[in-house]
């Protein structure tokens, strides 16, 4: 718990990134979870996944931009990404963070940037998932989705709900009533106990409750987890309730539990992998370390091997 909190704190320290980015080992470790720094590298990574029958969602790394120019550049990269997906015929949509589109600077700017991305996705018959960030953004994200993006773009755009938040069951019912496409995840940020369940068992139990509701009533929900118990529960619940495998998809992160991704696909389930790319990989990587501190051992193991080779 303390280690998770420390890693999540580190994920928010911008100053450390410039040091880490220059570090060869950190870059090598990042390569396990990040498809590359450019659109071309990201699109190339899709080929292998798609060949195994796995869909993708491309995510340009970067959050909390500090200028309109930065937000505009991210918007343009997303539009270019949608073009490249279209040109290559890859099976992928995109995932976008509102703070990357300028939410902290000016809500209208963020909405305009998002409209430009979602309109392009719609013209290609593609889809835009709005990632969910820290709880300080939950209200605004859901409000913009409910009042602006969903009315304008319908099922071309979807949201994410996090089972660690105490409010999520209520949000979920609203989203189900709206017919919104929801991705359900546990939640990756450092949150206070009055906002998020501090005990992992409560997070997992809430996940299962929300997942069952989505399987029964949701619009093609994304079950985003690597938790094998929860995945087994989903399969069993769907089978018993007569929910066909085509009515939902499992979602996992690039580089995490590839065996599970492929096994589910071979068993006939829809699987989508979230594929991050770009140069701003530090906060993303730190959140992945926080989820599974054993990844630190993997990183340190590389450091030791590398230094032994040099000595
Ligand atoms: C497709 C997708 C999209 C997501 N989008 C969001 C989002 O918009 N907002 C948000 O807050 N969070 C998001 N997340 C992250 C999510 O909230 C969790 O932090 C993350 O998925 C780990 O939780 P878990 O459900 O896998 O369960 P856990 O209980 O954390 O893990 C279960 C098991 O999965 C494996 N595992 C999990 N994480 C790792 C890892 N990093 N490395 C290696 N093995 C691992 C381990 O075997 C672990 O025992 C997303 C996750 C996925 C899969």
What residue ranges define each of the domains in the chain, with the CATH number in brackets?
A: 35-280 (3.20.20.220)
Selecting among 59, 84, 129, 131, the annotated active-site residue is 131
- pLDDT beyond 50 at 306: no
Alpha carbon of 134 to ligand 1 centroid (Å)? 15
Task: Indicate the pLDDT class of residue 12, thresholds 50, 70 and 90.
Answer: confident
Rounded distance between C-alpha atoms, residue 78 and residue 46, angstroms = 16
- pLDDT beyond 80 at 11: no
Residues 6+ apart with CB under 8 A from 85: 43, 46, 58, 92, 93, 94, 124, 126
Residue 19: per-residue pLDDT? 61
- Read off the pLDDT of residues 62-112 as tens digits, 9 standing for 90 and up: 888 899 999 999 999 999 999 999 999 999 999 999 999 999 999 999 999
| 142, 150 Cβ separation under 8 angstroms | no
Residue 296: per-residue pLDDT? 73
Residue 132: per-residue pLDDT? 98
How buried is 47 (Cβ within 10 angstroms: 0-12 exposed, 13-18 middle, 19+ buried)? exposed
Residue 52: per-residue pLDDT? 97
- pLDDT beyond 80 at 294: no
Among 248, 186, 188, which residue's Cα sits nearest to residue 219?
248
Atom of ligand 1 nearest to the CA of 251: 1
Report, as an integer, the average pLDDT of 115-123.
Answer: 98
- Read off the pLDDT of residues 146-200 as tens digits, 9 standing for 90 and up: 999 999 999 999 999 999 999 999 999 999 999 999 999 999 999 999 999 999 9
Rounded distance between C-alpha atoms, residue 168 and residue 71, angstroms = 28
Rounded distance between C-alpha atoms, residue 279 and residue 61, angstroms = 7
User: What are 292's two structure tokens?
Assistant: 């599974």
Three-state SS annotation for 169-237? HHHHHHHHHHCCEEEEECCCCCCCCCCECCCHHHHHHHHHHHHHHHHHHCCCCEEECCCHHHHHHHHHH
**Ligand 1 binding pocket includes 63 (Cβ within 6 Å):** no
How buried is 142 (Cβ within 10 angstroms: 0-12 exposed, 13-18 middle, 19+ buried)? buried
Rounded distance between C-alpha atoms, residue 230 and residue 249, angstroms = 14
Could you tell me what percent of the chain has a pLDDT over 70?
92
- Read off the pLDDT of residues 185-204 as tens digits, 9 standing for 90 and up: 999 999 999 999 999 999 99
Report, as an integer, the average pLDDT of 242-267.
Answer: 96
Selecting among 183, 213, 272, 288, the annotated active-site residue is 183
Residue 307: per-residue pLDDT? 52
Rounded distance between C-alpha atoms, residue 177 and residue 201, angstroms = 27
Most ligand 1 atoms within 8 A of CB, residue of 224, 258, 259 to mutate: 224
| 98, 62 Cβ separation under 8 angstroms | no
Task: Indicate the pLDDT class of residue 215, thresholds 50, 70 and 90.
Answer: very high
């Amino acid at each position: 718990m303390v280690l998770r909190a420390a890693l999540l704190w580190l994920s928010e320290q911008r100053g450390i990134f410039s040091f880490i980015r220059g570090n060869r080992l950190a870059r090598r470790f990042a390569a396990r979870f990040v498809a590359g720094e450019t659109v071309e590298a990201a699109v190339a990574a899709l080929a292998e996944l798609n060949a195994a029958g796995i869909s993708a969602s491309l995510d340009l790394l970067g959050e909390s931009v500090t200028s309109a120019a930065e937000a505009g550049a991210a918007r343009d990269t997303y539009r270019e990404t949608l073009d490249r997906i279209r040109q290559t015929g890859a099976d992928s949509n995109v995932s976008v963070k509102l703070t990357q589109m300028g939410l902290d600077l000016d809500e209208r700017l963020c909405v305009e940037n998002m409209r430009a991305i979602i309109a392009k996705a719609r013209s290609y018959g593609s889809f835009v998932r709005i990632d969910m960030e820290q709880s300080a953004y939950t209200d605004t994200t859901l409000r913009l989705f409910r009042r602006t993006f969903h009315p304008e773009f319908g099922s071309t755009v979807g949201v994410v709900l996090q089972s660690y938040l105490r409010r999520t069951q209520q949000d979920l019912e609203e989203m189900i009533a709206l017919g919104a496409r929801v991705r359900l995840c546990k939640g990756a940020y450092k949150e206070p106990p009055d906002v998020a369940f501090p005990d992992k068992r409560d997070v997992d139990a809430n996940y299962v409750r929300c997942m069952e509701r989505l399987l029964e009533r949701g619009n093609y929900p994304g079950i985003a987890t690597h938790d094998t118990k929860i995945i087994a529960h989903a399969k069993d619940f769907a089978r018993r309730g007569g929910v066909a495998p085509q009515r939902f998809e499992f979602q996992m992160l690039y580089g995490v539990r590839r065996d599970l991704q492929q096994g589910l696909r071979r068993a006939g389930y829809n699987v989508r992998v979230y594929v991050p790319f770009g140069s701003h990989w530090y906060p993303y990587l730190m959140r992945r370390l926080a989820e599974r501190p054993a990844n630190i051992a993997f990183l340190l193991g590389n450091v030791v091997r590398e230094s032994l080779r040099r000595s």
